[in-house]
Amino acid sequence: MKTSLRFLVPLALGSAALLLSSCGHMSPTRSGSSFSFDPPAKKPGNPSAVKVHISTGAGKLYVTEGNEVLLATPIGVGTSASPTPHGSFRIDSKTRHRRRASSPGAGYPMAYWMSFHSPVYGMHWGFVKPYPSTHGCVRMPLNAARKVFDMTRVGTPVIVSSSQPWDSTVGASLPRLDDSPLPDPPDSYLLSGKVFADMEQGKMWNFN
């Protein structure tokens, strides 16, 4: 189903061990798919001080502790017709291996789900495009989504606005990610348990 993930997934809408090694990432001048992107991440010293900042204008997400950026990643955000809501929220639920419950598209993976405006809006893994393309949810690259999930907890503040202070610094060095040329994986794979096992290893189907 060509629309199953890139268009339908955003409609849905115990801490795990941190997978936060300082991995390399793509050159800021390069373009590529989100499956090639593995952002450096720093383990928080004080998890209660962690915040998530989302810039809908720049299409970037920053995890911070105080004034320090622990992780930065390109993201996909809502279109003008179905925007990602602005405001100050908190993560109110987390589901590591979530699947879409409603049809069409029931059963498709929405891994690393972090709801911040229940019941519709959340952050999760999804195909990323370099322009607003979701129905309001925040889609993240696979490795970024896993790391953000492990860095946050229920109650973590989420601040969403059209810009963030780091857009012209940390954000400007991030690569341009575009998954639009990628085909959808087969349904037999997406509906299997293997999809989540692969995601935990930072890979998916034949995109890596």
d(CA 159, CA 52): 6
Per-residue model confidence as pLDDT tens digits over 141-161: 999 999 999 999 999 999 999
Per-residue model confidence as pLDDT tens digits over 83-109: 999 999 999 999 999 998 888 788 999
Per-residue model confidence as pLDDT tens digits over 46-66: 999 999 999 999 999 999 999
* Residue 12 predicted with pLDDT over 70: no
| 8 A C-beta contact, residue 162 and residue 116 | no
- What the block records as the tokens of 39 is 């952002």
Residue type for 16, please? Answer: A
d(CA 193, CA 41): 27
* Residue 74 predicted with pLDDT over 90: yes
**All domains of the chain in start order, with CATH:** 9-200 (2.40.440.10)
pTM given for the model? 0.85
Dihedral of CA 17/22/28/34: which sign? negative
Q: What dihedral do alpha carbons 128, 131, 132, 138 form, nearest 10°?
A: 30
Dihedral of CA 60/172/165/17: which sign? positive
Q: What dihedral do alpha carbons 99, 102, 104, 107 form, nearest 10°?
A: 20
Question: Which pLDDT does position 173 carry in this prediction?
Answer: 97
d(CA 25, CA 22): 9
Average pLDDT over residues 20-30: 40
Q: What is the DSSP letter of 139?
A: E
- What the block records as the tokens of 2 is 């060509």
Question: Which pLDDT does position 10 carry in this prediction?
Answer: 38
Give the percent of the chain with pLDDT over 90.
Answer: 78
Question: Which pLDDT does position 118 carry in this prediction?
Answer: 79
Give the percent of the chain with pLDDT over 70.
Answer: 86
Average pLDDT over residues 2-24: 37
* Residue 8 predicted with pLDDT over 70: no
